[in-house]
Structure 1
Amino acid sequence: MAINLKKGGSINLSKSMTKLNKLMIGLGWEYASIPVDLDASVFILGANGKLLSDEYFIFYNNLKAPDGSVQHTGDNRTGSDNDDDEVILANLDNIHPNATEICICVTIHQALLRNHTFGMLRDAYIRIVDMDTKAEVVNYDLDSSHNAENSLVFARIKKSGNEWYFYADSQGSTSELQALVDMFV
């Protein structure tokens, strides 16, 4: 049974399931009136809160981390799938030893040009599935507090010792993807 988190909630992924190492991170959304193109991205960070290297920024133009630990399966531009619209696969056992955080972000493609915000969406969520058992472990719905924003640090998976924790972060802004890149470089 999945745990439904609210903003600020967390769960110890290492203790929630046995051997939770292979994750599927699914993001989904529906648009209310006009199509909105969300883009999932992942920043693999070191202890200093910065990217390990440019190659550890995973997004629609760089689908795989150099160590193969994190892979984006491709860009969905419409949010029209019945299930997860964008998927990120992660193997926590294979992640670079200097990695301490996997930061999962969502931005709206060309949001400023198109005047798109998260307020144009409904049913936006992030979930984590154990790839070995296919069981959903965590589900976190984007609440309505981000109506005017177009970029979001949706969640963080942080390492503490040998354990990984999922944090429902939900820190939004009105900047686009480049601002997030600048924050983590």
Structure 2
Amino acid sequence: MININMLTKSAVNKNSILSVNAINCQGTKNKNNIQSVMKSHECKTQTNTISSVQQNTVCPYKAVPKLYNSIQKGQKVVLPIIPLSKIEVCLGWNTTNKICDVDVSAFLLGENEKVLGDDWFVFYGQTTSPDKSIEFVSESNTDRQKIRINFNNIDKRIQKIVFVLTINEAFEKKLHFGMIKDAYVRIMNQQNHELVSFVMTEYYTNVISMMIGELYIHKGAWKFNAVGNGVAKDLADLCKLYGVEVV
């Protein structure tokens, strides 16, 4: 069963992850639904005090950065780093509906396409993987979310890392990816040079979660796959899909 360490570093009750409260631009979370677990970094304030939270603030528009090595949906490329050491996975998006709140997750999968354990589901509330290879960091002036990956630390059992965008409370608020635009992922090396990037061009009204891209091992080399496929599943169902136990 998932055990999420929030900013207070206290564990969520073992029987549920629904009681997590996140401080963000839309205020304290409702305890009655799992989508409330995750709130994106771009909506968070720069303070830890509840009194400073700006409620119902619309997350500002961010232009898509200039991309230098963009590939198309379905293309797969080897990460051109020898030896492969550290990268940053940078993501961004905009919305056409001001109440759309997009969250980022990373699922670290073994050979069976499942997480090694519940703590191998990484997001802003559980910002580091058990092997210290993946760390979520604050948004930058350019990107809404950055994820640092250190391949020197990654557990040898990990065969794939899936990066997912989900819309918070999509079912309850009747939201979907037809209200999202400009979604992209770009992978940067330690010199802040782009290795590969992918901009989504397909947005569907029957999709509330999107697997935007993934890193995976093939013949000993790490490759990036521009997935861009969505499903009509919320965060709870995605957790079940990848083997995270949720009640």
TM-score by length of 2: 0.67
* Letter matched to residue 11 of structure 1: V
**Aligned partners of 2:95, 2:112: CA distance in 1, in Å?**
36
The answer to whether the aligner puts 1:65 opposite 2:124 as a matched pair is no
The answer to whether the aligner puts 1:123 opposite 2:182 as a matched pair is yes
Query: Against the structure 1 CA distance between its residues 33 and 153, is the aligned structure 2 distance closer, same or farther, given a 3 Å change threshold?
Result: closer
The sequence identity of aligned pairs, in percent, is: 29
Q: Residue 82 of structure 1: CA displacement?
A: 5.0
Specify which structure has the bigger relative contact order, considering alpha-carbon pairs within 8 angstroms and separated by 6 or more residues.
1
The aligned counterpart of 2:95 is 31
* Letter matched to residue 105 of structure 1: V
Instruction: For residue 134 of structure 1, give the secondary structure of its aligned residue in structure 2.
Output: coil
Q: Residue 153 of structure 1: CA displacement?
A: 1.4
Judging by fraction of residues, say which structure has more strand.
1
Q: Deviations over 1:110-139 (max 9, x none)?
A: 111111111112211111111x21101111
The aligned counterpart of 2:77 is 11
The aligned counterpart of 1:43 is 107
Query: Against the structure 1 CA distance between its residues 134 and 20, is the aligned structure 2 distance closer, same or farther, given a 3 Å change threshold?
Result: farther
The answer to whether the aligner puts 1:112 opposite 2:167 as a matched pair is no
After alignment, is 167-176 or 26-35 more displaced? 26-35
The aligned counterpart of 1:167 is 225
Instruction: For residue 144 of structure 1, give the secondary structure of its aligned residue in structure 2.
Output: coil
Instruction: For residue 237 of structure 2, give the secondary structure of its aligned residue in structure 1.
Output: helix
Query: Against the structure 1 CA distance between its residues 52 and 61, is the aligned structure 2 distance closer, same or farther, given a 3 Å change threshold?
Result: same
Query: Against the structure 1 CA distance between its residues 56 and 100, is the aligned structure 2 distance closer, same or farther, given a 3 Å change threshold?
Result: same
The aligned counterpart of 2:120 is 56
**Aligned partners of 1:115, 1:82: CA distance in 2, in Å?**
30
**Aligned partners of 2:126, 2:74: CA distance in 1, in Å?**
29
Show structure 1 runs of 4+ deviating over 6 A. Answer: none
**Aligned partners of 1:47, 1:102: CA distance in 2, in Å?**
11
Q: Residue 162 of structure 1: CA displacement?
A: 2.5
The aligned counterpart of 2:68 is 2
After alignment, is 20-29 or 101-110 more displaced? 20-29
The aligned counterpart of 2:214 is 156
TM-score by length of 1: 0.88
Q: Work out whether residues 180 and 203 of structure 2, in 8 Å CA contact, stay in contact via their aligned partners in 1.
A: no
The aligned counterpart of 1:84 is 143
Q: Residue 60 of structure 1: CA displacement?
A: 2.7
Instruction: For residue 239 of structure 2, give the secondary structure of its aligned residue in structure 1.
Output: helix
CA RMSD of aligned residues (A): 1.8
* Letter matched to residue 6 of structure 1: Q
